[in-house]
Structure 1
């Protein structure tokens, strides 16, 4: 599926998506055209899902990071999920196991914005039966990167 060169390209681009074709090619000992072909293939097959800039939340008025555990009834669940995933404040929404239905990660200005979001957006959804909010005090690590463990070549 992915060989060692593919994994090395993915690791490099995950660390620095702005790496030039020449930098990628040199790092994996390929020609620029061969490296570009691999990057194109990795993008086409879904291994690379997109190219994003990592922004500083505090510089954009999103100082508060909150996690919300949501209990939902099956009736209306898909509509509630669609409504929540459409919101820019929702960074992540995970269907989870255990006593709760979903875990949602939000970035908002402050606790007042969290209260408004819960009152105006989340709790009015018919499927939502209960929420529990957890507010972060500090973030020691936050990354979209995945660990690229060594796996045998396919």
Structure 2
């Protein structure tokens, strides 16, 4: 599986540890940054990884920041993306099994390296079997409804340039 990984500067060290851990697996890893401890805004990394998933360039993603909350919120703003905060094995498994989450997020100030490896392994070891398909479909439908309504509103107001 092709996995995208990204972090802000607060989680750079943990991202590198997880990358090294994944190098010993059958997964191909694409690093979306950051590439040092120099300050980086986490939304930029989250949006880039989310876009890559949306385009089919990577299959799943792992995003990290200090708490995992910021990158989770940012990734979930990208249309079609379902990101889930996971700091334990059960949550990581359920993110995929129940919600078909394309991304899990972790907080480097919340979880240690060994536990993070177990969480990542749990997430990547399971596949969505459409167990909660009805619920996931409702989320997708609401997102599409919202996107379509906003597009119609933008067109009618002339703010999207489509007159």
Superposed pair shares fold, TM > 0.5: no
**Alignment TM class, shorter chain as reference:** under 0.3
Structure holding more strand per residue: 1
Structure holding more helix per residue: 2
TM-score for the superposition, normalised by structure 1 = 0.22
